[in-house]
Amino acid sequence: MNILANDGLSNSGINALKDAGFNVITDKVEQANLIEYINANSVEVILVRSATQVRKDIIDQCSSLKIIGRGGVGMDNIDVDYARDKGILVINTPAASSQSVAELVMAHLFNISRFVYDSNRNMPTEGNTSFKLLKKKYAKGSELRGKTLGVIGFGRIGQFTAKYALGNGMNLVAFDPFLPEVTLSIDIADKKVDITIKTTDLETLLKNSDYISMHVPMPADKKPIISKPEFDLMKEGVKIVNAARGGVIDEDDLIEAVNNGKVGAVALDVFVGEPQPRLDVLSLQNTSLTPHIGAATTEAQDRIGTELAEKIIDFYQK
């Protein structure tokens, strides 16, 4: 039985599937050729990350498909309900990458607080001739301790991010329309500390946060969560991290907010139009950028591969 891991799969996942008797294909098939390839090779399972789209055309025209798997959390690139209505199992790995994404968020928070993103660009070219000027330029950084982090979306990744932030001495406000209260269990040395967080409304979060981190899926109506009215509510000089989905922040309004100083700095791991983000977003001042690598750690990919393999094997053994 053939499994197409079109956006790649960790060795741990491949080996588990091969040991169970499956043939795992890791060729990268272009989107336009997927239907033909799946049908020609009688592919029963297609595994994707964020790059490959599995829409109604594939679901309708590929009768061999039994499972669609997403290595990660969000399934915006899959017509999930339609597939399930057609009797196809749709699986993902919602917990496997939470820690990795949260650690990237924290890296960006430190980065934009101490101008590391800008210093790394300028030191190789100007460090030898303008060391003192650069030192002065980056001398007004901020500590995270004592600042308030607003977490928009308090699911698994938002909660992991909150744990790291609390461990760094930050205050926390969270917004989630589906979770009125969450108890976080934080491991410190050999002790476990439980902290209960009551979520608040979005307006309160926006008005009181020094930093904001996005952890929401793309809404069904495709409208941004953050646009000009939300920016207007924020503190002057607020710093924002988006490692959730491109489009949950209106990029035009973000550019304006950064350029007029409303947003002091922004860190982006996700973009509208991936894999070809807008050049005016990539060249925006006071911006720390990564190319959608939130879940891209060896540990997370091992967990994702293993979890997908276990779910596939379980399906065929029933």
Among residues 49, 108, 156, 292, the one annotated as catalytic is 292
> How many angstroms separate the CA atoms of 114 and 9, rounded?
35
84 is catalytic: no
292 is catalytic: yes
274 is catalytic: yes
Among residues 103, 274, 278, 310, the one annotated as catalytic is 274
Among residues 49, 156, 215, 245, the one annotated as catalytic is 245
> How many angstroms separate the CA atoms of 318 and 313, rounded?
9
Which whole-number Å values give the CA distances from 227 to 30, 155, 204, 206, in the listed order? Answer: 34, 22, 16, 12
How many Cα atoms sit within 13 Å of 6 on the Cβ side? 24
> How many angstroms separate the CA atoms of 33 and 37, rounded?
6
Q: Which amino acid is at 52?
A: T
**What residues are labeled active site?**
245, 274, 292
